[in-house]
Structure 1
């Protein structure tokens, strides 16, 4: 277990260090070029790419936003070699493709996995990330309790941790995940954002870090995924298991007046919210005050056609906010 106040992340092996620098160089190049890309849902991404004329990429947005194949004339020779050696661009069936996608979130530029995110260790970014950032921003604007120490559980791209770190420069912010690829992406994104107060650590929920926190963030996977991909599969009957585990394990780690912001999705059945019904069992103590908001009533409707969702009416995005009062 890491005590982040005493230890620093281990240095990267040489190969990963070169890949880190190559990705950082690419991010800075994109920033200098004024690159912007708002990432849609996977279904929208698929539909747009299927349109006639969208088969190939002709600019940086096509390569690093829409994840389309491209030719070798886009980069100068030195940059081309660095991207190849780092595995950022690959030749797939005679066409070049980027293994990385870049998205903008406000003024941030964040690296994550290219579309489609089929690999088990894919690092996902999408509309949930934009909504999650909005929830964090609203909380920080309304709450006047100082944030000395914060943690983003299942950080993915590190968007939540970086968002807090930029708003609270005095805070120590931990970004934790079980996915090494996510941690590498977060490290690049935090450096690109110049947030030196973000530390990146491997942790299964909070098992790998010590101490209490003034702010705990989580935007966990909440789907029932047949392939059990880490970024997507929430476990349990309908993807709720990880969210409930985070709630249970985060509450004892809150400082007095500290807050848990849990952004998740719920498969609604026959007009009932099974996540809320289960969550109430952890919130009976008068030590905690909490609110619950249905942020979006209907997302990822295409999932309802998949096995296991036969009784589900809709998938809603919800935010559970819990503060320790005693």
Structure 2
């Protein structure tokens, strides 16, 4: 390992400088590429944008500049969704970003039909690199992006939408605030603008026993429950305190007990 690279990364505030130096060294093919990657990282660009990929739920997914980096806290959403996926299930991943969440949900499930959608064309291009040909990626605003033939056929609808309150974006770490798209961060005044829209539209797209799963922060769960019950679905909350993850689900019939 190049100790000078480690020292430069550490001086720039990279907590895991040794690991980052190793990943850069393994990814770059020439000394010039190493220098370029180190310079970009020192300037504050997310490591995943620098090396071009991210590890998520056991997958290595392509990530590029201007695309939201999948967070490990979203693995709770994936785990809960996988409990409901069966062979030939129709799965929709809204606000998909790289497409990592939907891809992880359907991995190894025979015949599962994955559709991912995002409003950001940069994210859509990235998701197509990851998802296709295993699934289809659509560009557009939430449900407007989806093929009409999916109406009433979705078994599992998942979303990790932007849920940072607008005023809180300025308080985010610079590598997220300055390098990830605003459309992937800004959830409106209380962070729940997209959550409410997703909940409101879900009943028309779900099968009679389909389920919707949405990620947000723990303090937003009560507002999400209100939105889901307001849409005529029964809501349940799931929390992983260790991973600082919260998922609220909505479905017809009796929901599972909260965890």
Task: Tell me the TM-score normalized by structure 2.
Answer: 0.69
- Conserved in 2, the CA contact under 8 Å of 1:292 and 1:319? yes
- Residue number in structure 1 paired with 2:163: 222
Which deviations, in whole Å up to 9, do the C-alpha atoms of 1:59-110 show, x marking residues without a partner?
Answer: 5x12688xx9x941669xxxxxxxxxxxx98x97xx9x97553112244111
Partner Cα separation in structure 2 for residue 137 and residue 159 of structure 1: 13
**Offset, 1:182:** 0.9
- Conserved in 1, the CA contact under 8 Å of 2:81 and 2:156? no
Residue 69 of structure 2 is aligned to residue 125 of structure 1:
yes
- Residue number in structure 1 paired with 2:145: 208
Residue 135 of structure 2 is aligned to residue 190 of structure 1:
no
Which deviations, in whole Å up to 9, do the C-alpha atoms of 1:276-315 show, x marking residues without a partner?
Answer: 2463254157x6333112333896xxxxxxxxxxxxxxxx
Determine which structure has the larger helix proportion and give its number.
2
- Residue number in structure 2 paired with 1:231: 184
Which deviations, in whole Å up to 9, do the C-alpha atoms of 1:200-246 show, x marking residues without a partner?
Answer: 110211112122311101001111235881111111x2212111111
Residue 52 of structure 2 is aligned to residue 101 of structure 1:
yes
Q: Which has the larger radius of gyration?
A: 1
- Residue number in structure 2 paired with 1:199: 136
RMSD over aligned Cα, in angstroms?
3.9
- What is the DSSP-based 3-state SS (H/G/I as helix, E as strand, rest coil) of the residue aligned with 1:233? coil
Aligned pairs for 1:15-26 (under 5 A) are: none
How many correspondences in the alignment? 222
- What is the DSSP-based 3-state SS (H/G/I as helix, E as strand, rest coil) of the residue aligned with 1:181? helix
- Residue number in structure 1 paired with 2:93: 152
**Offset, 1:123:** 1.4
Which deviations, in whole Å up to 9, do the C-alpha atoms of 1:139-196 show, x marking residues without a partner?
Answer: 423x4766531110000110111112313231211010001111111111225xxxx3
Partner Cα separation in structure 2 for residue 53 and residue 289 of structure 1: 42
Partner Cα separation in structure 1 for residue 16 and residue 233 of structure 2: 55
Aligned pairs for 1:243-322 (under 5 A) are: 243-266=195-218, 268=219, 275-277=221-223, 279-283=225-229, 288-296=233-241, 317-322=245-250
- Conserved in 1, the CA contact under 8 Å of 2:88 and 2:110? no
Deviates more, 1:218-227 or 1:199-208: 218-227
- Residue number in structure 1 paired with 2:173: none
Partner Cα separation in structure 2 for residue 325 and residue 265 of structure 1: 25
- What is the DSSP-based 3-state SS (H/G/I as helix, E as strand, rest coil) of the residue aligned with 2:105? helix
Q: Could you list the runs of 4 or more consecutive aligned residues of structure 1 that deviate by over 4 angstroms after TM superposition? A: 46-49, 51-55, 97-100, 144-147
Aligned pair partner of 1:72 in 26, 29, 32 = 32
- What is the DSSP-based 3-state SS (H/G/I as helix, E as strand, rest coil) of the residue aligned with 1:164? helix
- Conserved in 2, the CA contact under 8 Å of 1:187 and 1:200? yes
- Point out where structure 2 has 5 or more consecutive residues left out of the alignment: 1-8, 171-176, 255-259
**Offset, 1:137:** 2.5
- What is the DSSP-based 3-state SS (H/G/I as helix, E as strand, rest coil) of the residue aligned with 1:201? strand
Partner Cα separation in structure 1 for residue 11 and residue 77 of structure 2: 28
- Point out where structure 1 has 5 or more consecutive residues left out of the alignment: 1-45, 76-87, 115-121, 300-316
Task: Tell me the TM-score normalized by structure 1.
Answer: 0.56
- Conserved in 2, the CA contact under 8 Å of 1:164 and 1:173? no
